[in-house]
Amino acid sequence: DFPSNDDGFIRSYYNRSSSVANDTANKASTIEEQRRQLPAFSHKKQLLYAIEKHSVVIVVGEPGSGKSTQLPQYLYEAGWSANGKTIGCTQPRRIAAAMLAQRVSEEMGVELGTTVGYSVRFSDAFNPETTRIKYLTDGTLIRECLADPLLSAYSVIMVDEAQDRSIATDMLLALLKKILRKRKNDLRVVISSASLDAERFRAYFDSNDVAATTTTAETPTLGSATILSISGRLFPVDVHYLTTPCENYLTASVEAVMNIHMHEPAGDILVFLPGKDDIAQALADTHELAQNNDGLGSMMLVPLSAGLSQEEQRQVFDPMPAGKRKVVFSTNVAETSVTIDGIVYVVDCGFVKQRVFDSVTGIDKLVTQPISRSSAVQRAGRAGRTQPGKVYRLYTYEAFKSGLFSPHDVPEVCRLSLAPMVLTLMALGVNNLVRFDYFQPPPPELLSHALEQLASLGALEPQRAVLTPDFGIYLAELPLDPKLGACLLNAAQKFHCLREALAAVGMLAIGSDPFVVPNGQRAEAELDKRDFMVQEGDVLTFVNALVAYQETPAKLRSQWCRLHFLSSRTLEQADRVSRQLEGYLIRMGYSRERCRQSCGQDFSRLQKCLTSGLFANAAKLEVDGSYRLFRGGPALWVHPSSVLFPETAKPKFVMFAEAMETTKLYMRGITAIDSTWLAEVAPHYYSEAK
């Protein structure tokens, strides 16, 4: 029922709220003016009043209305950190925490890491003495609970992006509800959400007994939760659907960008793609196409995904001079977490990369799958923040309305492995996992799988849901997935190969391949990779590369990386992470000598050590060249980027660090193993592996 156009799109119209636009928004020059024009500004008094009177304030508002950047500053200006305490603001995504801290320190005219700072896993910039506004991931704040169970360093905690419903957000809400019972008068919680489910947050906190106990003369209403809504400012967005489904969303997104650039008036473009690899590819393709069309001079192409340098982060926000158009290729992070001014066109590929856990097979995989309809609405909304915009959906209207796109996202607590959450809850003293007051109770099969996994790693006392003192408690302290944490602790305690285990875990925690294949130099790059390659698989190959990097003098490292087609960014990060993990082990009492113990040429010691953590991911070769877990399950294939991919002689038994599903279910980070190790390192899990 929509008019069809010759550009292959049909169009509809979509307008979520009446626009109370202020057309000077684009002309704002100073930071102060920009701040005043944000919708949050006109709600400042209301917020400060609400937070005086209520221990929980739920703030709902469109993405980009200034919740994340402004609310902490209003609280700071009103003196909420005057007592030397900190205003904390949590984010589900690491990159968002770092970018927000950068922005707010600029707005306040202070150096990042002084009054305003951030702290995320493996990276931080803050000073406990001076930092008053701290952006952190919700996971990092939960880790802080291990050392400071009442979070006494904070006067206000803002749980931002609560609509995302990450496991860590849900868990933090539950912990804050408990903490509020003990700190009824001196802690305030702000929950901010871009969707309209505020009532659910209120109901959860209102069931806290604080409400009943604090209705006294001095604090008449303190304790009850209240909702504050920041009125939206969204311009109409013209929605374009494909008339016929596209075969390849990468090609389609590049074409859409070029079409907009050639035919549409000024305005920046935001392209949503599932992952980092897609982003790199789309960027390279657009670059090439634009060059051939003489259009590159008037376009600036920037990526937005995890792991950007500070310089790259800044580029995302660089205002464009007249006549130049910015194209941001982004993961889901730009859907609500990060708002970029100047976006008028959105290209939505319709997919997102998500982690999914199957509690029957125990496979934890990254899957590229269709987004939810509510996600599509949020993505479209990014085009209409400051003026009417357009969204190009790279799927058909029929597909959108079909069952392919679910109405909402499933919260993480119902679809991920709960082992990390259970481990942390237990370390915080929550032993009755069934009666814990979850924001949303997890499915029982996921809970029992988590307990089984932790028990088989050796983190639980026999037959009891209590952490073992010398392993389980240490495991909870390591900022790692329990499987990887177990590899490290076993390397320290049993296998005496921490030098290499730290390198392996450092690489796996980063999750990026250090080998780069520059366009047109594939043959040379492949040849060079052979210097580091070993038949034992990817992880040992990565270890070789990282150890060689660490042995290269710091001054020569980037040149050395270029020479060997290695990513110096990835290796630098992995090196930093492995040194930080060494710091954790030293604080646990392992000596520096122990941390430097090497397996030398005896690689099997390292392989066995890795098996002691990753054993649940062990698989055996099938006749068709695929692999299957010992407990059965779907066919698993060697990823084309693996060092074991092109060879015909595949190892009989392997173990993988990560599974990902695209056209097939692939294994990444593969290590060849000996099946007899399984019963040895995980007797409960493999009583009779053959």
Q: Give the interface with ligand ADP as residue ranges (CB under 6 A).
A: 38, 61, 63-70, 99-100, 102-103, 317, 339-341
Nearer to ligand ADP, 117 or 651 (CB): 117
Whether the Cβ atoms of residue 257 and residue 286 lie closer than 8 Å to each other? yes
Nearer to ligand ADP, 175 or 343 (CB): 343
Q: Is 193 exposed, middle or buried (0-12, 13-18, 19+ CB in 10 A)?
A: buried
CB of 192 to ligand ADP, least distance (A): 7
CB of 373 to ligand ADP, least distance (A): 20
How far is it, in rounded angstroms, from Cα 653 to Cα 499? 25
Nearer to ligand ADP, 58 or 504 (CB): 58
CB of 32 to ligand ADP, least distance (A): 13
* HEC per residue, 378-424: HHHHCCCCCCCEEEEEEEEHHHHHCCCCCCCCCCHHHCCCCHHHHHH
CB of 325 to ligand ADP, least distance (A): 17
The residues facing 135 across adjacent strands are 89, 118
Nearer to ligand ADP, 67 or 608 (CB): 67
- As a whole number of Å, the CA-based R_g of the chain is 26
CB of 132 to ligand ADP, least distance (A): 18
- Which pair of structure tokens corresponds to residue 458? 């050796």
**Which residue in the block uniquely carries the two structure tokens 């495991």?**
475
> Which residues are within 8 A (CB) of 27 and not within 5 positions of it... i.e. 6 or more apart?
none
**Which residue in the block uniquely carries the two structure tokens 């692939």?**
666
How far is it, in rounded angstroms, from Cα 183 to Cα 472? 29
Residue 590's nearest CA partner among 499, 477, 493 is 493
Nearer to ligand ADP, 378 or 417 (CB): 378
Nearer to ligand ADP, 60 or 492 (CB): 60
How far is it, in rounded angstroms, from Cα 354 to Cα 314? 26
Nearer to ligand ADP, 137 or 607 (CB): 137
Edge-to-edge strands, sheet with 116-120:
123-125, 116-120, 133-137, 86-91, 154-159, 188-193, 56-61, 225-230
CB of 224 to ligand ADP, least distance (A): 24
CB of 39 to ligand ADP, least distance (A): 8
CB of 50 to ligand ADP, least distance (A): 17
Nearer to ligand ADP, 336 or 468 (CB): 336
Nearer to ligand ADP, 38 or 141 (CB): 38
Residue 333's nearest CA partner among 366, 304, 300 is 304
Nearer to ligand ADP, 315 or 493 (CB): 315
- β pairing state of 154-159 and 86-91: parallel
DSSP letter for 59, please: E
CB of 314 to ligand ADP, least distance (A): 7
DSSP letter for 92, please: S
CB of 315 to ligand ADP, least distance (A): 10
Q: Is 595 left (phi over 0), alpha (psi -120 to 50) or beta?
A: alpha
Task: Compute the C-alpha angle 515/673/665, nearest 5°.
Answer: 60
